[in-house]
Structure 1
């Protein structure tokens, strides 16, 4: 009968890789043997955390979906990168778990996306399952889950070196099973996690503030340039609300007819091409600096234009488009949605 020791990996499959691929900070495929501060050690990650896989219950069985077991997919990871996830876009149920290789894992399990969109890290805020796109670790008593999370976040660029594949980069299980982590004593791990956690809290607060300001800006844009509230107010002899006199003077006091219907007097109908240039600066991967920011589909924000996440260009294998500061780009591949971005 198979042992159920707390840290025993349950992934099966091929054995751990025997080579060494050093990471950038505190993770490596294989033991790199590099010097560490006093009290730190290189440890095989599966010696201090149980490695778990994920799976997708059959989509042909709708009765296996829509239950009360949160199921983490790639979109959940990209939307919650670096954070604790408590709600997922999709849920499965006991039938889906029982009839697939998916497993329900405990809170504080650390999840890493290993295929397609490599390098996204989330922590389970409740008992959940994941798709096969993730490798997951249930930390043992020697490893603080928060420390593991921050190590994985620090190694995001290195994951492209750990991965292989022509169409989609994937970190395969032999490399995952060979992960070694540079570990201090548990007390120091907690100190590191506490400091970085306080910085994360501050970042989250700033993001919330930014989202609020962006919502205000969108509402203002709609009022001024979609509903034409300042024009309507002036037509009725009222001062536009929340607008100084100089700004109000820029709006006319009436409408005129156009092929699109009523528009502010003196405005004209045109195309985006009349006022903006469609740029297509193609650049080959060998001419892109590895340190360059790289924006893929998963980095594009929804319902806002401010970018909060991006990758790096090292490991790219196909031609890309270059953008300059202040330029605007829009998602254009199917399914087309309302996702825009502006290069910071």
Structure 2
């Protein structure tokens, strides 16, 4: 099987890498994080590269690229530790709106493409854990439209977003997956309240409270669309994690080649070289599963969801191993806020928890293997 990237994909990767090297130094990122993590300006710079238009159809001002191009971009952004919400705003949001009415797409896809609007998914609820099919937020038909009441937690870049895609229950029980709809709620709508806060990885999130907030219906078949969009987000996270791990490994190797102990560099000790070899193996395992997740995004739902869960398990395991080993090889300096490695470690920790932690996705993999696991029947 040929895993080489096309010329266009290589050019795209190189363009992102050049921007990271010239425009997003660690000092800039650290300053943004210390100032609260607002990255709308950075998001605008990504728009100038065309990245916010990456998956928007060309009929609506986008580039019409697919999952592989998104993976290439996210891996490079991971290497640079770019904390702008590109995956949420440019990859997931277009997919969430794709099944909506034409007037909704005509209004929002061009704004997503040129970054004049940031649209993010607001789906997490306190009682739902990582389940997408448990929704307590309620939608009520009213006056030819809908109003929504509920609370969504840890909305990425929530207090910087212009609109939210909100899953809401259309009348069934909280765990009735047949009654979930998707709605677009504008930030300026009456009844919308936001409480923003910085996250430990230098980005931002918000609590979104909706009190009879006006909303536009995207689709009444919300769960299937939500699952597909979250899978896109997980595949993007996997690619980002590979970039983060790649760079953290390089930082650690460079440190070991310069730091001396007992009159010799750390890289000269065989036991430490073996540990770096183990780290490299975990990075490559993660890379292969990132490719696997991306290539399975076009598969039918059961196969796609299983592949995504398998990839997230490997990414979570690799991220934990790589992060812990690299920080330990640094010693005390590795956890200081002024040193770059600690920020890569924090991002890996956040990636492991987003869209379901390793244990959650291990359960997902197990559930989908029940028909083939155990003794032959």
Shorter-chain TM-score tier: under 0.3
TM norm structure 1:
0.23
Give the helix-richer structure, 1 or 2: 2
TM norm structure 2:
0.22
